[in-house]
Amino acid sequence: MNLKRFAVMLAGMLLSVAAHAAAKLGERAPDFTLTDLAGKPVKLSDYKGKHVVLEWTNPNCPYVAKHYDTGNMPGLQKAYAEKSVAWLLISSTNPSHHEYATEAQTSKWIADKKAVPTRIMLDKEGAVGRLYEARTTPHMFIVDPAGTLIFAGGIDDKRTWNPEDVKTAKNYVRAALDESLAGKPVGIATATPYG
């Protein structure tokens, strides 16, 4: 086999692996390992058997601020922690970006907002963000206890940064969690992310 033919075959195999590895609704959520703010490794598979919310965040985003300043996101985290849902907070902001928040800044922001995610991780290389195609903040994903991705998209139907809109929004994450926890299929499994 000549070198050119081998290179083409290898490239095709790598593309195939990458295509299968990406997160797809209704399929097994790709596992990943990140380090939390305390320097401890976190794997998605550590939470097998539980519902898991993956929330992409950025403390400097006005859309994220809408959900944290109103208490909406911390309230969801608290309510579903009581139902044994793991809430993994991920920031994929590159350290060279002007909106990047360090571990210390992120910890302070979480404390100030009285947020209670299960774990908080910085995805500095953006690899997990790319794996899940998380493009906005907040961008939300729900994995069921079997490891299947059952929701991907925006948190609600009010694509604004106006805090008043939280009161009248249809919260897709709440609805999907409630349906799945009750053993029902998720009615709205995808929604356009915004932020």
- Computed over every residue of the chain, the mean pLDDT equals 91
| Model pLDDT for residues 56-68, shown as the tens digit of each residue | 999 999 999 999 9
Spatial CA neighbour of 116 closest among 168, 53, 174: 53
CB 166 within 8 A of CB 66: yes
- Whether residue 18 lies inside any domain: the answer is no
Query: Under DSSP, is residue 9 helix (H, G, I), strand (E, B) or coil?
Result: helix
pLDDT at residue 15, rounded to an integer: 37
- Whether residue 96 lies inside any domain: the answer is yes
- Report the percentage of the chain scoring pLDDT > 70: 89
- Whether residue 6 lies inside any domain: the answer is no
For residue 53, which phi and psi values (nearest 5 degrees)?
A: -100, 130
- Whether residue 93 lies inside any domain: the answer is yes
Q: Is the pLDDT of residue 183 over 50?
A: yes
35 φψ region: left (φ > 0), alpha (ψ -120 to 50), beta (else):
beta
CATH code at 56? Answer: 3.40.30.10
- Whether residue 17 lies inside any domain: the answer is no
Q: Is the pLDDT of residue 16 over 70?
A: no
pLDDT at residue 6, rounded to an integer: 39
For 170, other C-beta atoms within 10 Å of its C-beta total 12
Q: Which domain holds residue 69?
A: 23-191
- Whether residue 187 lies inside any domain: the answer is yes
Single pTM value for the model: 0.88
| Model pLDDT for residues 119-137, shown as the tens digit of each residue | 999 999 999 999 999 999 9
| Model pLDDT for residues 152-176, shown as the tens digit of each residue | 999 999 999 999 999 999 999 999 9
- Whether residue 150 lies inside any domain: the answer is yes
- Whether residue 151 lies inside any domain: the answer is yes
Spatial CA neighbour of 150 closest among 178, 184, 176, 118: 176
The number of domains in the chain is: 1
Report the C-alpha gap between 181 and 175 in whole angstroms: 10
